[in-house]
Amino acid sequence: MTGIQFLRLMLRDPRIGAVTRSSPYVVEEVARAVPAGTRVLVEYGAGDGVVTQALLQRVAPDGQCVAVEQNAAFIPHLREIGDRRLSVIEGNVLDVSQDFSAHHISAPDVVVSNVPCTLLPFEDRDRLVRQTHAGLRVGGRLVMYQYSLLMRPLLRKYFSEVEMRFEPWNFPPYFVMIAIK
Ligand SMILES: C[S@@+](CC[C@H](N)C(=O)[O-])C[C@H]1O[C@@H](n2cnc3c(N)ncnc32)[C@H](O)[C@@H]1O
C-alpha cells in the first residue's frame, strides 16, 4: 500500500490513528521485542501488514500468527501476505481479546498492539489491557507501541513488569512498551 493510499484511508476512518504506516525502524524495534520461535502471536491493529511480515519471522515454523484489523480496506493486503501460519480476523480487538479460544486461538505467548489507545474511552483502554492480560499465558507479553505514555499506568496495573523503549525514527516517534505477565 502506498503512503497516499494510507493517508486517504485515514482521512475516511480516524480510528486508523496514523498518517502513514510504521517506519522500518519501528518495524525492527517491535520485532526485536518478540522472542524468536514464538508459538502463538496475536497482532492488534495490523493495518496493511508492514509489521505483520516482520513478526512472522519471529514465529515458530509450526506456530500461529493472527492479525486483527477493524478496517476492511486493509484485509486484502493482510491476506496477500500468504503465509500458512497467518490468519486474518476482520473485527474489533475488544471482542477478540474477550475470548481468544472462541476465535480458535490458544493462550497467546505474545500480543503486539498498535491500536491507537488515545482514541478509546478509558473503559475500553482498561478492558483491552485487562482482557489481554487474562488471555496471555503466564510469562507471555503484551508489546504496545504508541505515540504517548498514556497506557503505561494501565500496563503497570495488570502486569508484573513493564519495560520501555523509544524509537525516534518515525513520524511521530513511538514508545514501545513491553509488559510481561
Ligand atoms: C496506527 S495504525 C497502524 C497500522 C500498522 N500496525 C503499522 O504499524 O503501520 C492502527 C491500526 O489499528 C486499527 N484499529 C484501530 N482500532 C481497532 C480496533 N478496535 N480493533 C481492531 N483494529 C483497530 C486501525 O484500523 C489501524 O489499521
> CA-to-CA distance for 119 and 107, rounded, in angstroms?
27
Domain count, the chain: 1
Q: Residue 8 maps to which CATH number?
A: 3.40.50.150
Alpha-carbon torsion 79, 81, 82, 84, what sign?
A: negative
pLDDT at 1: 78
What percentage of the chain exceeds 90 in pLDDT? Answer: 89
Indicate whether 2 pLDDT > 90.
Answer: no
For residue 92, report the distance from its CA to the centre of ligand 1, in Å.
Answer: 10
Residues with CB under 6 A from ligand 1: 15-18, 21-22, 44-47, 50-51, 68-71, 74, 92-94, 114-116
In angstroms, how far is the first alpha carbon of the chain from the final one?
35
Q: Cα–chain-centroid distance for residue 75?
A: 15
Q: Angle at CA 147, nearest 5°, toward 145 and 152?
A: 65
What range defines the domain where residue 74 resides?
Answer: 3-180
pLDDT, mean of residues 46-63: 98
What percentage of the chain exceeds 70 in pLDDT? Answer: 100
75-112 pLDDT tens trace:
999 999 999 999 999 999 999 999 999 999 999 999 99
